[in-house]
Amino acid sequence: MPRRDFLKTSAGLALGAALGTARPLTAGERKRSIGANDRIRIAQIGCGSRGRGAHLENGILPHLAATNFEVVAIADPWRKAHEDTNASIKKAFGREAKAFVSYRDLLAMDGIDAVMIASPDHQHTTHLEAAAKAGKHIYVEKPLATEFDKLLRAYDAAKAAQAAGSIIQVGTQLRSFPGIVGAREVMKSGVLGKVSRIEEGRNGEKPYWYQYLDRGVKEADVDWKEFLGDRKMRPFDAEQYAAWYGHYDFCQGPVPQWGAHFLDTAHFIMDCGIPTSCVCIGGTFTWNDEHKFTTPDCVQATWIYPEGFMLTSSNNFGNSSGNVRKFFGTKGTLAIDNWNAPTYSAEGGPKRDGKIRGKQDVTPIARPDHFLNWLQCMRTGETPHASIDAGYQHAVAVLMAVISYDTGRKTVYDPKKRAIRTV
């Protein structure tokens, strides 16, 4: 074993010993044990730009001085991801976390209270279900699922863990933005009247997955089988690993990725549930090149909700113009062109009554940020901003769109049978 690897392994073993070898606490015991002065021991599954950057460097670590936690373990199939993430952890805590290739070994480690999941999309349900069955507190990225049967299994496991005391936060962080919370209050006030249509258009000159090419991925540094998970075995492909967002096997495109955020935001603002039907079309119309990406670069999905409105989310990566985020009501329009500074006006309202004068800024309502909220809820036992139920709602909507895109048919959701079918 090279000296550097030997030292890293030794440090990890020492850390594991320091945490003790007592039996894992049950969710209920752990919930009671995390008091105001108790240290929360956190592990990170998935150490790419999302895990290292959004979860750690820009997520929980800014709250280190105000809260009491430590990052004790990480898991990722790529050696370089371990090294880069542990550099950030060492800077924060003065020592590295124990590094694993597989999430299974991480969850088998004693002394872990909470798990953050930022793995590729096709692995979210696998890691969520396993962490829930292990009784951990969980922060999990969206989209929750790429297949509906796996969503049901992971959701049921998460609900059981929640009932036993686990705090589960879904990574739809816009619910924690003061401007979005304020927009919800504007909608609740009734000043915009009856909403009939909600629309998002979020476009770009080039698909975002191109930025992940040329990351220097080498076969010797990657556990390819661990990355594939339940996907069909194939020869190692550095581009598929580096830019997995652009390959449909691992990521089903802009609707699950970007549309999930807008869906969840609309669900929050409208205080609504799961849509009844969806139609989704799209394809790769601009970026047909040597990389052979299979994720669509142009897509549009439209849902109908039982509350009586239509929601559309569209993305075009062949032209960056036409961006819009609006809620159209009979008395006015709510615009969320800027997530942090929504506005509303009487524009277009056929029943506008003079209560809205000109363009009005939404009054922001202060709220703890998404990661701080999760850390706080682990101590208070309160429900976090983006509960597993909220995650299930937008995950069903996303999968209705995915199945419609795959089949070319309209999808409908049966809430009693918890089933999506095509018509």
Tens-place pLDDT, residues 60-78:
999 999 999 999 999 999 9
Amino acid identity of residue 69, one-letter, is: F
Q: What pLDDT sits at residue 24?
A: 45
Lowest mean pLDDT among 18-32, 80-94, 182-196, 255-269: 18-32
Tell me the Ramachandran region of residue 329: left when phi exceeds 0, alpha when psi lies from -120 to 50, beta otherwise.
beta
Nearest Cα to Cα of residue 114 among 57, 65, 167: 167
Q: What per-residue confidence (pLDDT) applies to 21?
A: 33
Instruction: Give the dihedral sign, CA 403/409/410/416.
Output: negative
For the segment 408-412, the average pLDDT, to the nearest whole number, is: 98
Confidence band of 15 (pLDDT split at 50, 70, 90): very low
User: What is the distance between the alpha carbons of residues 201 and 203, in angstroms, rounded to a whole number?
Assistant: 6
Q: Which residue has the higher pLDDT, 12 or 238?
A: 238
The pair of three-digit structure tokens given for residue 347, joined into one six-digit string: 């524009």
In one letter, which amino acid is 315? Answer: N
pLDDT at 35: 75
Integer angstrom CA distances of residue 310 from 45, 138, 276, 277, 394: 36, 32, 10, 10, 15
Q: Given this model, what pLDDT does residue 210 score?
A: 98
- Residues 6 or more apart whose CB falls under 8 angstroms from that of 206 comprise 287, 317
Using alpha carbons, select from 111, 152, 120, 159 the residue that is nearest to residue 138.
Answer: 159
Comparing 13 with 392, the larger pLDDT belongs to: 392
**E-only strand ranges, 107-187:** 114-117, 137-140, 168-170
**Under CATH, what is the fold of the domain 175-367+388-422?**
Dihydrodipicolinate Reductase; domain 2 (3.30.360)
Mean pLDDT of 302-322: 98
What does the pLDDT average to over 93-118? 98
Cα 233 from Cα 124, distance rounded (Å): 19
The one-letter amino acid code at 67 reads T
State residue 47's pLDDT score. 98
Binning pLDDT at 50, 70 and 90, where does residue 311 land?
very high
Beta bridge partners of 280: 301
Burial of 133 (0-12, 13-18, 19+ CB in 10 A): middle
Q: How far is CA 228 from CA 84, 235, 236, in A?
A: 22, 11, 10
Q: Per mean pLDDT, which range of 8-22, 149-163, 169-183, 409-423 is the poorest?
A: 8-22
pLDDT of residue 28: 47
> With 80 as the cut, is the pLDDT of residue 20 above it?
no
Q: Which residue has the tokens 């009784």?
A: 135
Q: Which fold has domain 3-173?
A: Rossmann fold (3.40.50)
| Residue 217 pLDDT | 97
Cα-Cα end-to-end distance for the chain: 58
Pairing of strands 333-335, 411-414: unpaired
Closest CA to 113 of 130, 135, 98: 135
Say what the pLDDT of residue 37 is. Answer: 73
* Residue 5 pLDDT exceeds 70: no
Mean pLDDT, to the nearest integer, of 331-346?
A: 96
Whether 335 shows a pLDDT value over 50: the answer reads yes
What CA–CA distance (Å, rounded) separates 374 from 167? 7
Which pLDDT does position 16 carry in this prediction?
Answer: 37
For residue 36, the model assigns a pLDDT of: 72
pLDDT tens across 24-59, in order?
444 444 544 477 778 999 999 999 999 999 999 999
pLDDT tens digit sequence for 394-406: 999 999 999 999 9
Q: Give the pLDDT of residue 6.
A: 31
Alpha carbons within 13 A on the beta-carbon side of 362? 31
pLDDT in tens, 361-372: 999 999 999 999
In the chain, which residues fall in CATH 3.40.50.720?
3-173
Domain with CATH 3.30.360.10 in the chain: 175-367+388-422
Residue 253 exposure: Cα atoms within 13 Å on the Cβ side: 30
pLDDT at position 192: 98
Tens of pLDDT, residues 203-246: 999 999 999 999 999 999 999 999 999 999 999 999 999 999 99
Dihedral sign (CA 379, 380, 381, 385): negative
Say which residue the tokens 């009005």 belong to.
360
